[in-house]
Amino acid sequence: MRADRLVATLLLMQSRGRVTAAELAGELEVSVATARRDLEALSAAGVPVYPQPGRNGGWSLVGGARTDLSGLTSTEARALFLLAGPAAARTPELRSALRKLVRALPQTFRSEAEAAAEAVHVDATPWGGADRPRPPLVDEIQDAVVRRRRVRLSYAGRTGTSERLVDPWGLVDKDDRWYLIAGTEAGRRTFRVDRVRAVEITEEPFDRPDDLALETAWAEVVDTMEQRRSPVSAVVLADARFVPILRDHFGRHCTPEPSSGSDGVVRVRVAAHTAVSVAEQLAGWGARVRVVEGDAVRAELTRIGAELVAQYEV
């Protein structure tokens, strides 16, 4: 999402005055080379940014330039805040800059700009799969999110296609797989946008919950889904220095417990979708980890060990 980064870069420069490529890379979670290319792209596009060499150098806006928002149309303002909103969620300075930019807008544009800034949450962590096309109805649903209008979805669920009247609270882009978080008569629900067959935007307004934080709501959805995806767990004993490696292997399904002794050994709970999967990931550790809870996982490790002995016994 390069447009997202370019807007975020410009807003950071306006809020700080001067930034280095390394600072941008850290804030926007990209490489220094990518941050430098983005800065050069802004300059090539006519944005008055320039590099200043030296120990205290960096990139600055010429003459402390500021974006003049007074000439923006409603559509342009909405597009700007749709791009900047996801990046601002990660950086306090960007959130502050967005608030200032909202105050610079004409009054008639402010409500939609604020809604656009909160309309989309980006979660770059993949769930598998690649090269997924953008669902064709994302833009229509996004328009309803910003305008605060109820939508009637034709949705292909597990039991067939049905119609749902929902309040579209926000969209989540998870590594190009899109989800709609919405309010329904049964409470908050999550819909996969690629399963939406048709959208009808009604003229019925809705009130977005004041306490709704899209990022927090999505984290709760992910926790629930990951628990369903990884119902089998085991507790292992491992040296504390191995815990970061276990966490790399199991991700959010690795939960260290406080060490019960002074020998540096830590109890760690790990999980996956089957006992076989847990065992396969632990088998390569050999005697460096020991399963102390999880009979099914121990049984699979015994089976794997026996197969290896039979295969390689001389």
Block means of pLDDT (10 residues each) for the chain, length 314 residues? 65 76 84 86 72 77 54 58 61 61 59 69 62 81 90 90 93 84 92 93 91 86 73 88 86 75 80 88 91 93 91 78
Phi (first) and psi of residue 84, to 5 degrees: -80, -30
Q: Which CATH code for domain 2-79+87-105?
A: 1.10.10.10
- What is the pLDDT, as a whole number, of residue 126? 60
Query: What pLDDT sits at residue 249?
Result: 80
Task: Name residue, tokens 């997924």.
Answer: 132
What pLDDT shows up at residue 146? Answer: 85
**pLDDT reported for residue 213:** 85
For residue 289, the model assigns a pLDDT of 92
User: Amino acid letter at 51?
Assistant: P
Q: Parallel, antiparallel, or unpaired: how do β-strands 232-239 and 265-272 relate?
A: antiparallel
Within the chain, all domains assigned CATH 2.30.30 are found at 123-214
Q: Where are the beta strands (DSSP E) in 100-186?
A: 120-123, 149-157, 160-174, 177-184
Residue length, the chain? Answer: 314
Q: Which residues pair with 192 in a beta bridge?
A: 179
In this structure, what token pair is assigned to residue 208?
């977005």
* CATH T-level fold of 230-312: Alpha-Beta Plaits (3.30.70)
Residues of the chain with CATH 3.30.70: 230-312
C-alpha neighbours within 13 Å on the C-beta side of residue 84: 27
Question: May I ask the CATH class of domain 123-214?
Answer: mainly beta
Q: Can you list the positions of beta strands (E) in the chain?
A: 18-19, 49-52, 58-61, 120-123, 149-157, 160-174, 177-184, 187-192, 196-205, 232-239, 254-256, 265-272, 289-293
pLDDT at 248: 83
pTM value?
A: 0.53
pLDDT at residue 85, rounded to an integer: 62
Place of tokens 């767990």: 233
Nearest in space to 146 (alpha carbons), one of 221, 79, 213: 79
Question: What is the model's pLDDT at position 127?
Answer: 59
* pLDDT score for 166: 95
The whole-number pLDDT of residue 2 equals 55
Instruction: For the chain, give every residue range classified as CATH 1.10.10.10.
Output: 2-79+87-105
- The alpha carbon of residue 167 and the mean position of all alpha carbons in its chain are separated, in whole angstroms, by 22
